[in-house]
Structure 1
């Protein structure tokens, strides 16, 4: 039996929730597993629908990790058949007392603390005492090594995705209406925060519209920067070129991606926040949509430069402009899109899970 310890799990939604759900579901096809997860609204219906055991831990967040650790430690004392613990975050293992094999996933931001700081010391105490540290990208692996995590413990296993389902025709028609009359179609699906770099894409659109009068940029998401971005669009008189959408159904979101030409998210490092991988690039690629990503972070694991998309310097407005121009000028997005679709198959969970099976 293997235990999965996670603070993020469905029915809550988000990238980490999808990752831990995909991992748990895929492992359950080969092993007996049990998940310890945080309590969340509506969990009963979800938990009753899965084929493995989920134990939810409730309580005030401040004390929840202590209660969860106590329950896991007690479970380990009473169950000798547990072979391995797999955790979503170093904090999930901080109070666990066992000699069983331990695996911890790392994603970049949560380990990115100044070397020799109090938090860095706590991170190293946990991660340099586990059997395997799973980095979500080569960027995250390099970051971990620079911060003091022992290299021999680190393996790179990219997050997985499920094969996409057919999009209903009504959603495709609705997406066509949004894009009507627009020939150059850019899209970003992400939180509105500084790291995602919507701001510089919008600034690039200001100049690109002179060359490509039929360009459009669709932004789907929510976040702290939403109002600032909307003000920027008004200031630059780009209301006809930049559209904001949020709280839309998943099928409609996927329809908009599939009807786009390019997924763009030239992420940057903002304070300690960095794009560890960028599963959104892979999700777009599944619809044959190439991406433009930033050189800072793990986008290079998801995008093969000048094959499935482009990697640019997200801090350089000219580089963002020229990357968009390059991919549209010779209709490169057709060629890149076909390659992106083929490459996306390498991220399907049935392939990714094989890397986990080899270390269990």
Structure 2
């Protein structure tokens, strides 16, 4: 591989090596992309994904694509990462997720990297508690100068495996211009054929951990209290057929399918309540690291209902920006939704509190400033 020219951004000082990158959808992908956009002198090495060529042309920095949709810490991936570092004389390498690509750290150091920063998410927290994976994560952490964590839950799990002196908090930012309170919520509802109806919206991939199934199980109880309510499930994923079977006969449950990132604000705008009652599965292996969607929903002024999985409660101030529930209990989920739908004033107060919290502590300017200090 020939290292690409630095382009308009000048010399490349930072190389990001990541499995998680757009146009593949997802919270980690958005997080890593947001950091790259706000970092001068960056290049990215990521897997191929449908539509990546057009996406890459729009970026203000070079992107090198691995030929398949998954990168593992193989010799071939190590060689490409090392050539990027050596070809540009980059001094810092950021791994978009510590596990498993952090195992490439010795190769990029040999190529000239002097500083290695590793981001962690929910799956590293799960690895920290799983025999076999725990030992691999300990080895990965030993190669890093800095390992980031999302919140207190992930920090506590990682600190049992990785030197606590290396751990620094770095959570995602929110674009508060893109995600902002709707100027005309009724117009947003009307565009979706939901005019005049209370709407609970969930924006997420359709996978078991996220809790869309519990929303559907809770929905008949919600309808008994709020008969005209609509449950809007935004996103695609492998669990869709199961969810559609579960929702059979419930006409007020709507599926949108996959929605492009730039279309998401319109769906938040149609909501009165945001809910994702995530739950931990597989004895802690499948766990929520934080939940960027909770932050986006708060930025739009919606009260949130979050499941008590992993670090999800770190994205909510209970009683101030939303409610935290047991995502394994449909009755508790239903009670939270009814409480907010039946009390619009309380819902609006929580939503306003969420907007204030996000603009005060979670903007991308604040996150980028923290990130840049870690690179130095």
Shift of 1:170: 11
TM-score, length basis structure 1: 0.87
Equivalent pairs counted in the alignment come to 351
Residues 162 and 349 in structure 1, CA contact (< 8 A), matched pair in contact too:
yes
Summarize the alignment of residues 240-319 of structure 1 with structure 2, pairs less than 5 Å apart: 241-248=252-259, 253-271=264-282, 272-319=285-332
In 1, the alpha carbon distance for the partners of 2:348 and 2:130 equals: 48
In 1, the alpha carbon distance for the partners of 2:123 and 2:22 equals: 21
- Of stretches 256-265 and 109-118 in structure 1, the one that deviates more from structure 2 is 109-118
Match of residue 357 from structure 1: 372
Match of residue 67 from structure 1: 76
Q: What are structure 2's unaligned runs of at least 5 residues?
A: 1-12
Match of residue 121 from structure 1: 135
Q: 2:58 aligns with which of 42, 49, 52?
A: 49
Deviations 1:143-202 (A, max 9, x none): 2224x22222212211112234499999974632522242x3211111222111122222
CA 1:59–1:341: 2 relative to 1, 3 Å: closer
In 2, the alpha carbon distance for the partners of 1:100 and 1:151 equals: 21
Summarize the alignment of residues 195-234 of structure 1 with structure 2, pairs less than 5 Å apart: 195-234=209-248
- Of stretches 167-176 and 32-41 in structure 1, the one that deviates more from structure 2 is 167-176
TM-score, length basis structure 2: 0.84
Deviations 1:206-231 (A, max 9, x none): 11211211221111122232222222
Match of residue 337 from structure 1: 351
Query: Is 2:188 aligned against 1:180?
Result: no
Query: Is 2:69 aligned against 1:87?
Result: no
Deviations 1:239-294 (A, max 9, x none): 2x211221345565422311211100011001111110101111112221121001
Query: Is 2:159 aligned against 1:151?
Result: no
Q: Classify the secondary structure of the residue corresponding to 1:358.
A: helix
CA 1:325–1:304: 2 relative to 1, 3 Å: same
Q: What are structure 1's unaligned runs of at least 5 residues?
A: none
Shift of 1:348: 1.9
Query: Is 2:338 aligned against 1:325?
Result: yes
Two-structure CA RMSD over aligned residues (Å): 2.8
Residues 208 and 325 in structure 1, CA contact (< 8 A), matched pair in contact too:
yes
Q: Classify the secondary structure of the residue corresponding to 2:104.
A: coil
Match of residue 156 from structure 2: 142
